[in-house]
Chain A
Amino acid sequence: MSKAPTSSTRARLDQFRDASLPFVTRMFRGNRLRRYMAASLVLGLLSVFIGAWLSFGAGGFEQDMRRQLDLEQSSWDRERAEFSVTVHDGYMYEQLTAERDRLLTAGATLSDYSMLADERERAYATLYTALTMGAPDPYAGLEADIRTLLETHPPTRYAIDDAQWQYGQEARDWQFDWYRPAERVRLQAIVDQQLVPEVVFYTSPLSFADGVRLTGAVAGGFVVLLMLIVAPLASGATVAQEVHENTLQPVLGTRLRPVDIVTGFTAAGVGLAAVLAAPSFLVMMLAGVFAGHIANLVPFLLLLPAASGFLVLFTQLIGFGLGRRWSSGIVATLLTGALCLLMLFSVGVGMNLEDDMVGLIAMMPPVGLVHGLRELFVPHMRLSAAETQHALVIISVSVVGFSVLAYVMSRALTRRIEGRTQASITRVEGLLAAAVSIVLALAVVPEFDANDAVPAYFVSLGLVAFAWQLILAGRVPVGDGPSTLRTLPLRNIMVEFAAFVAMHAGLLILVFGPSAIPVEPMGAFHLLWSLVVLALLAVRLVALPTNILGSLFAMLCYGAICFEMVCAGVTAAAASDYGFSPHPFVLFEASAVLGVLQLILTLAIPLALVRMLRKGSAGVV
């Protein structure tokens, strides 16, 4: 018996309904809902049609697709094993069948240009190669059958005496391994068919059950594309348009709170994708039930809303930021390109996920979704049971991590829409987001042993650096007022950043042990410098307006950060592996001038950033 919802739950549901209703109604106004429903039906039918076509289509394209999905053997392998010629064309089938009938008639010969003649020549080559290699004892019977066959069906192209030598020449290229079952199967087929290849009219080898599974995978693919491309795109473009055309201000003047507006944008975008995806989703679920994998759909069904929610809120933030300068058309084009690239990459990786790439799911949930669909409906068994368990753990981490990040982004967007002078995220939200990003980054890093602690540290640091910059940017107070009126809590921000760095190092030590990470003074200096500049730069880019010169300076800073990070890694590795310390300012080893330049930049960049922050704000505390 289900529990009645509590009053607070009911109030939350009411709030959600009140917030969503205007935006969802607007999305489906007029006859749009009917049009979207018609489109969704078309998509659902299309998924069934494409699934059936790919499953049972006899064309070369469908065959290639099934081959790439490991659903059937390649024609080459099949023809070799079955000693057959496969044709896709009715006319060709009739021609070859007639030829085969003539061949079966004693004394008939084949044209040199016939496919059957080619196949028969290859069969002779196989037989003579096998004889040349000499059969091991267990297969002496088969070898005797071959000799008998060759005596009764001598080759016509060469004199019998020359045949062994001629085909033996090919044997130098055509190695034959009697111990390979596939090779013996071919020999047996040639012997059984008396050197007459079968003519096979190609049909899909997939069963009805296979077809249902493939249809489920196609429908699932549609659902993923709609939830990860259409929903974020619709939401991001809507926010960009509202900001660009200044239509957000009247909405802000209504009873809706900023958080309601964010909820509304999200509900409208997700609602559109959900309506479009509904029939495809139904097809996917039915296929899952039919395939008996309904329980295995659970991770997929958990990861999908987490990934979609994260992308929807991320694109809304992008739309809010870029919409001030660019029209919604430009923003939508950029978002479409970025989302399509993400999905292309995810499909490419997810369809062929190997065990050492499973961690990618942690930072790229779409990879997990594609992989999940493939494993559910078109299993190719590349992962062992243990690796599958590992993937499930990573998916769980990803679900939790991206749900938390989506929540933090919704809070940031709410505060930005509110427009008051304040930081986009609170200290707690920042720490939460940093912790999640660290865990996700460490999950991506392939399994290292204790000796690989240094590369693991730097790889994961590189992965979280971008996320940390965004988090620090969210901690800088901004608003509609000028920067010169705002006091920058730089000390607090830097302390929080130090906590991020400590959390990351702490987790590494927890994984690899305290002795695994060497403490090398110069390496630590380079690392500290790059991290401090990274943080200052993040603060500077958000706190103060940027002009072309400022952008160039930021690029210089990023270059210097990368260089110093590499210096830190190389110095730490050199100390760890060889007990050797390079020059503190490594460019001195190339040239004194470059060394002095490095020294000057090392001092000047952080000082310049601090000076800019002091000068451009009401004060730095």
Chain B
Amino acid sequence: MRVELNAISKTYDGSTFAVRDVDLTIPSGSILGLIGPNGAGKSTALRMVATVMEPTGGTIAYDGQVATDAASHQALRSQIGFLGDGNPLYKDMTASEYLTFFGQCFGLRGPSLRAKVDEVLATFSLGSKANARCKALSKGMRQRLLVARCLLHDPSLLILDEPADGLDPRGRSDLRTIVGQIRDRGVTVIISSHILRELDDLCDQVAILQRGTIVVSGEVGSIIDRYEVSRLVYELRILGGLARAREILAQRRVLIESEAEADGLTALSLQVQGDDAAVADMLAELCGAGVRVVTCSRVRSRLEDVYNRLSEDQVN
């Protein structure tokens, strides 16, 4: 399902906008990572896409069709799996009962419902907990159960708001695998998280939201490439002359991000302001001053670097 957000806005108090003029296009079958600090408007935006919240302004088109009335929203919900932020479980229901309830809410019946419940329980490694009450499950298991609920009806758009919350490293890894598999089935996935390493190599697209507005969006690789231009990080490995190197780098206004020892060499992570000529000049001066340079290589920026760069002091 292709989703297009056109100038979507939402305000709760009439003066401050939780989401403002958000334009976003999510191609069918892709994974969009929505990134932003707490209070940036991620959950509000996702709720509007999931049709459970009315935008104050703007429209959302699903496969080119703008849903405006309740009936069209209702029809859409059969195709959307939505895990909202802070959706609690029914504490006194077992995992199996919980999934059965939502399966019936999505129109599944009889053997197909039972088969689907068993399938998602197995997919999320909850088979042994099928008859355990939700209140007896660990936080990670509850989160898995919540995600499992969203997949019962084979949605064509899956919206996950902070799905990795409470999951242990293994659980996160499994979730990434599952989300990847879902994408491979042609399902469009929108996923929000503040743990960027999870989205880095999972998402096809990313959008960074701050104070309710999109500050950057697009394919992950192109965003990284775009923001690398003005923020180059190099790893310099030297055999000796560390004190002299520090003096020269300080004079050239190069920021040493970190120092580490590796394989008998000192590895310096450097931020160099300027183009390749500035790096060449810096290396020539270091070599001229007796610093024994072994290697100098550019470090490719990660999504986290881009985000950190963009979100400095931007927390709402």
A and B physically associate: yes
Using a CB–CB cutoff of 8 Å, the interface residues on chain A facing chain B are: 18, 21-22, 25-26, 29-30, 245-247, 249-258, 418-421, 479-485, 618
A257 to chain B: closest residue by CB:
B74
Which of these binds chain A: B79-87, B188-196, B203-211? B79-87
* A26 and B78 alpha carbons, distance in the complex (Å): 21
Q: With a CB–CB cut-off of 8 A, which chain B residues contact A421?
A: 54
* A250 and B105 alpha carbons, distance in the complex (Å): 10
B54 adjacent to A253 (CB under 8 Å) = no
Flag whether B25 is at the interface (Cβ < 8 A). Answer: no
A242 to chain B: closest residue by CB:
B90
Q: With a CB–CB cut-off of 8 A, which chain B residues contact A246?
A: 86-88
* A254 and B79 alpha carbons, distance in the complex (Å): 9
A482 adjacent to B104 (CB under 8 Å) = no
| Total contacts A-B at CB 8 Å | 90
B13 to chain A: closest residue by CB:
A482
- B188 → chain A, closest Cβ, in Å? 16
Chain A CB count within 10 A is highest, among B97, B101, B107, for B101
Q: Tell me which of A22, A247, A254, A483 contacts B77 (CB under 8 A).
A: A254
Q: With a CB–CB cut-off of 8 A, which chain A residues contact B54?
A: 419-421, 479-481
* A73 and B107 alpha carbons, distance in the complex (Å): 62
* A345 and B107 alpha carbons, distance in the complex (Å): 44
- B227 → chain A, closest Cβ, in Å? 35
* A253 and B51 alpha carbons, distance in the complex (Å): 8
B101 adjacent to A25 (CB under 8 Å) = yes
- A469 → chain B, closest Cβ, in Å? 26
* A618 and B53 alpha carbons, distance in the complex (Å): 20
- B88 → chain A, closest Cβ, in Å? 5
B interface residues, how many (CB within 8 angstroms): 36
A247 adjacent to B90 (CB under 8 Å) = yes
A253 adjacent to B82 (CB under 8 Å) = yes
Q: With a CB–CB cut-off of 8 A, which chain A residues contact B169?
A: none
Flag whether B59 is at the interface (Cβ < 8 A). Answer: no
Known pairs A253-B82, A255-B107, A618-B14; list 7 more (Cβ under 8 Å): A22-B104, A29-B100, A246-B87, A250-B82, A250-B84, A254-B106, A482-B11
Q: Tell me which of B14, B50, B106 contacts A484 (CB under 8 A).
A: B14
| A250-B106 in contact given A25-B100, A421-B54 (Cβ < 8 Å) | no
Q: Tell me which of B70, B84, B87, B149 contacts A418 (CB under 8 A).
A: B70
Flag whether B93 is at the interface (Cβ < 8 A). Answer: yes
* A517 and B105 alpha carbons, distance in the complex (Å): 56
B105 to chain A: closest residue by CB:
A254
* A22 and B107 alpha carbons, distance in the complex (Å): 9
A253 adjacent to B77 (CB under 8 Å) = yes
Q: With a CB–CB cut-off of 8 A, which chain B residues contact A252?
A: 52
Q: Tell me which of A25, A255, A257 contacts B153 (CB under 8 A).
A: A255
Q: Tell me which of A29, A255, A420, A482 contacts B70 (CB under 8 A).
A: A420
Q: With a CB–CB cut-off of 8 A, which chain B residues contact A258?
A: 70
* A483 and B13 alpha carbons, distance in the complex (Å): 8
| A249-B52 in contact given A25-B101, A30-B97, A482-B13 (Cβ < 8 Å) | yes
| A30-B101 in contact given A249-B87, A253-B77, A418-B70 (Cβ < 8 Å) | no
B55 to chain A: closest residue by CB:
A481
24 A-B pairs in the complex with CB atoms less than 8 angstroms apart: A21-B104, A26-B90, A26-B101, A29-B100, A29-B101, A246-B88, A249-B52, A249-B84, A250-B102, A253-B51, A255-B77, A255-B78, A255-B107, A257-B70, A420-B54, A420-B70, A479-B54, A480-B12, A482-B11, A482-B12, A482-B13, A482-B14, A483-B14, A484-B15
Q: With a CB–CB cut-off of 8 A, which chain A residues contact B82?
A: 250, 253
* A496 and B109 alpha carbons, distance in the complex (Å): 46
**4 cross-chain pairs, A with B, having the tightest CB-CB distances, nearest first:** A484-B14, A254-B105, A22-B104, A482-B14
Q: With a CB–CB cut-off of 8 A, which chain B residues contact A29?
A: 93, 97, 100-101
B87 adjacent to A247 (CB under 8 Å) = yes
* A419 and B48 alpha carbons, distance in the complex (Å): 12
* A306 and B15 alpha carbons, distance in the complex (Å): 46
